[in-house]
């Protein structure tokens, strides 16, 4: 099997599943990026603390998979209540971005990496704003 065939397979797979997520836009790309950064920073922080565990890593993957299921669910709801405006999908993605952002900041702190306060405030504001009317 050629490398080009592998690329074609994943391209077709992505094209087939993207509609379930509401398309491949900047919010979904950012969420995927946050997932990757959180996972890697978590592994680095755990390794530095001598707490590296495949079980905890698997739990992180399960949690991220559940978040993606929530995005698919919210996208389906949008199809029913607001087909042209992805309100539910965006709310779920922003809530997930807030959670992942907080986790990344915590992981960086465990690694001794200073995080500017403006970024910390932004992430917590993102998390708070995702709660909507509950505040």
Give domain limits for the chain. 20-134
Mean pLDDT score across all residues of the chain:
90
Q: Examine the pLDDT at 133 and tell me if it is beyond 50.
A: no
pLDDT by residue (tens digit) across 11-26? 898 888 888 999 889 9
**Long-range CB contacts (< 8 A, 24+ apart) of 104-109?**
104/34, 104/37, 104/38, 104/41, 106/45, 107/38, 107/41, 107/42, 107/44, 107/45, 108/41, 108/45
Q: Examine the pLDDT at 121 and tell me if it is beyond 90.
A: no
Whole-model pTM: value is: 0.82
Q: Examine the pLDDT at 83 and tell me if it is beyond 90.
A: no
pLDDT at 84: 87
């Amino acid at each position: 099997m050629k490398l080009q065939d592998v690329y074609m397979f994943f391209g077709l797979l992505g094209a087939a599943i993207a509609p379930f997520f509401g398309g491949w836009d900047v919010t979904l790309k950012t969420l995927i990026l946050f997932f990757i950064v959180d996972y890697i920073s978590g592994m680095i922080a755990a390794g530095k603390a001598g707490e590296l565990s495949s079980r905890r890593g698997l739990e992180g993957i399960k949690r991220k998979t559940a978040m993606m299921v929530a995005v698919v669910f919210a996208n389906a709801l949008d199809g029913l209540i607001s087909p042209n405006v992805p309100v539910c999908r965006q709310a779920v993605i922003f809530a997930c971005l807030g959670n992942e952002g907080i986790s990344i900041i915590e992981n960086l702190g465990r690694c001794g990496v200073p995080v500017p306060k403006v970024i910390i405030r932004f992430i917590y504001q993102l998390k708070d704003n995702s709660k909507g009317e509950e505040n």
